[in-house]
């Protein structure tokens, strides 16, 4: 499904006007790419699996940890609040995709794990997700992807290194 091109003013904003700083143009380009990819992925999850990207993210985090995660660990892994995760986990429990068990030592601590059904559902979604991503990046060679990964690692390093330079 092809999207119409954005209005010229918006396209210039995303690519940056010739007189704007290179760092701002770079940030806008990264943001626009990320937004487009995320919008397409969200749409595909809804259309093909009647699910959401946050549900997939929760299941992916649990897939990586077969022994399960506490709700706090899950929230930290996804960089969201406990409240955001709780609603998603409750719905996944209702659908028998995850199970929540209370720790015997501290009844306030619950561990969440994928069920067998949850693993099967996640694997189907993960295969679809991988195909969608592969298709979006099909226009890049392996060498270009490796080069971009190195450049993005440098970007991430720069971001992390200058984290404390926020205004007070």
- 95 and 128 within one domain: yes
- 24 and 62 within one domain: no
Which of 32, 17, 30, 91 has the alpha carbon at shortest distance from 59? 91
Q: What does the alpha-carbon distance between residue 51 and residue 55 come to, in Å, rounded to a whole number? A: 7
Residue 145 lies in a domain: no
Tell me: the pLDDT tens digits for 103-117?
Answer: 767 667 889 999 999
Residue 26 lies in a domain: yes
Tell me what the mean pLDDT of segment 15-32 comes to: 80
- 110 and 62 within one domain: yes
Tell me: the pLDDT tens digits for 141-162?
Answer: 999 999 999 999 999 999 999 8
CA angle 38, 152, 149 (to 5 degrees): 90
- 56 and 123 within one domain: yes
Count of CA atoms in the C-beta half-sphere (13 A) of 30: 12
Tell me: the pLDDT tens digits for 68-91?
Answer: 999 999 999 998 888 889 999 999
**Per-residue model confidence (pLDDT) at position 42:** 97
**Per-residue model confidence (pLDDT) at position 124:** 97
Residue 162 lies in a domain: no
As a whole-number percent, the residues of the chain with pLDDT over 70 amount to 84
- 72 and 5 within one domain: no
Instruction: Specify which residues 78 forms β-bridges with.
Output: none
**Per-residue model confidence (pLDDT) at position 164:** 72
- 67 and 32 within one domain: no
Q: How many domains does the chain divide into?
A: 2
If you write DSSP's letter for every residue of 58-78 in order, what string do you get? HHHHHHH-TT-EEHHHHHHHH
**Per-residue model confidence (pLDDT) at position 81:** 82
Which of the four pLDDT bands, split at 50, 70 and 90, describes residue 137?
very high
- 58 and 39 within one domain: no
């Amino acid at each position: 499904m092809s999207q119409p091109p954005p209005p010229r003013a918006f396209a210039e904003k995303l690519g940056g006007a010739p007189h704007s700083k290179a760092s701002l143009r770079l940030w806008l380009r990264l943001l626009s790419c990320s937004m487009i990819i995320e919008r397409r992925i969200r749409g595909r999850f809804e259309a093909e699996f009647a699910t959401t990207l946050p549900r997939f993210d929760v299941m992916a985090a649990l897939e990586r940890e077969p022994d399960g995660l506490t709700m706090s660990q899950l929230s930290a892994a996804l960089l969201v609040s406990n409240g955001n995760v709780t609603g998603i986990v409750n719905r996944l429990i209702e659908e028998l995709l995850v199970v929540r068990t209370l720790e015997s030592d501290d009844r306030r601590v619950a561990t969440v794990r994928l069920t067998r059904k949850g693993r099967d559902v996640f694997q189907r979604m993960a295969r679809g997700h991988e195909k969608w991503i592969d298709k979006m990046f099909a226009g890049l060679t392996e060498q270009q992807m490796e080069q971009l990964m190195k450049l993005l690692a440098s970007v991430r390093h720069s971001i992390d290194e200058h984290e404390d330079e926020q205004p007070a």
